[in-house]
Structure 1
Amino acid sequence: MAKPIAPIPHRDGIAPSFVGLPQGDWPLILDFLIQRFPHVAADDIRGRLLRGEVVDEVGNPYRVDSPYRAGTVLWYYRPQPEPLTVPFAEHILYQDDVLLVVDKPHFLPVAPVGRYALENLQTRLRLRLNNPEITPLHRLDKETAGVILFCQSPQHRHAYHGLFESRQIQKTYEAIAGFRAELSFPCVHTSRIEYRDDAFTVQEVAGEANSETAIELLERRGNYAHYRLAPHTGRKHQLRVHLAGMGIPIVNDAWYPELMPDKGNDFSSPLQLLARAIEFVDPVTGEARRFESQRELGWPTWWALY
């Protein structure tokens, strides 16, 4: 079933949410919502209905005494958590009617999630450019800075997604990480990556490799080095896991090799990983494209290098 068309607009760059109403014996919409959302206080749900914040498929507000009608759809805005402000700006590298290329700062998520429901790159761009259709074409970790592609035109998203699926996009990263004299570069690191039990981090396990990264040493300073990374596959956290698995974790990585406490509002130690460049043949225009981040990574302080 296709997603229904929202009868209410985006708010602060966030799309409204919807719930399909299944067959059931709830007398009122209120009864259904109290059972459907047990984590929300019943008085809060009543308040939202009294304020007209829950609407039907044509935008008419439900009331506290509205009868339940199976087979219809209700729409609402999710309550947003206390926002977290990320004090770093994105930079637009390129823009046309279809493609949008952005240089993302560290700490800023690409899409809405949790405390970043309003403070994320997608929402910033939708508000800045007054276009609720802006959508990311690929992933980039919140902790990672650098080049990321967005599509401004829904009808062209599939063409760009096809480039990623067929591996016709070349991405180059850079990292400041540990150095071990016994390792030889350039090299290609392969391994099998699977999710850990915590469901949001991954690990290297025995078995047939499903990830591959080419690694080149650019510069060494004491116990640290500057690397160029070219992933051939796109597994979650692949670069972070590969370097940690080689015993040279990326500087300020709070997840690999060990999961550290949440940094919260501390923006003083960004992960030293940068999506430096992206290259591809544009499926819409046929042009060869290359975009490069203007950001730079930071070495550890001099007394930590040796």
Structure 2
Amino acid sequence: MEEESRKGKAAAPWVAAVEEQLRQDGVGDRAAEEARWRKHSVYRVPAHIKKAAAAAAASRYEPQLVSLGPFHHGRTDLQPMEEHKRRALLHLLRRTGRHAGDLASAVEAVAEALEDVYMDLDGDRWHGGGGGGRDRFVKVMVTDGCFLLEVMRTAEVDGEVDDYAANDPVFSRHGELYVFPYVRRDMLMMENQLPLLVLQRLVAVVRGPHKATDDVINDMVLRFVSMTRDPPPITGDGLALHPIDVCHRSLLHGTPPPPPSTSRKRQREDEFVPSATELEQAGVHFSRSPTRSLRDISFRRGTLYIPELAVDDTTEHKLFSLMAYERLHAGAGANEVTAYN
């Protein structure tokens, strides 16, 4: 009787919604869930990570000069760079003879895949459907992508570009000295990533498909964002996800270390790692490793060999972003940058 009564009674709206979601969402389907998580590679940094350090830690994960991608687009304090983004787009179109529609069409063809890259993207503002969300998203991808292409082009020729004024505030020798270091910093902020697929689609239009191979795009970005001098090219692993992925791959080139044994893992939980000062006081000497890979660390006859790493006032922010990437993206592999720090 109770069963019949239950069947005859209309389900509460939330119950019906759950049942409908079960039919449509693929919950419990491992393959479907793996495919869903595989799409994401740009994440909002959770509050618990931002609060883990000092009160000003949040600024370590957010852009300070230029927004790239949707997460920080429209922020009032980043508006001054929007004019320079628009100028970059116009210069690129005039110089190459292409049309804005060519670039928009190239990016529109992969817009859905690009949207999937951003976890927790505001659907009402950016996704397809009414309100021009898709058009707005494509415009940001094209404009921000062309800005980066023009910045990297200017850096390649040491600030001397014919179609910009010699005293241009961004695309000049002056910009290379005083603006580009902070563009590099913001390119490596976790919440400010632009997928390399965007750059690949744009380069294929303005320079031709032969200039838009995976290795060419990876190398172009690496030359600009690398944290070491003369970084080895990252080849054979396909197109990197975004600039952080490029930098991460470059820092960890070479053979991965063997996984630690179970006993070694237990030991690490309580293991205390002395600082460099303490090691030096104990008689340990330091020397540069043969390569700049963070994997190239060894200890021989009282000398600790570690890779050379250039340090400036943006290095801390870059390292924090690389550590956030390892914590948030399952595909980043082991916590090798995190362990190095």
Determine which structure has the larger strand proportion and give its number: 1
User: Could you state the TM-score of these two structures normalised by the residue count of structure 2?
Assistant: 0.24
User: Could you state the TM-score of these two structures normalised by the residue count of structure 1?
Assistant: 0.26
For CA contacts below 8 A with separation 6 or more, give which structure has more relative contact order.
2
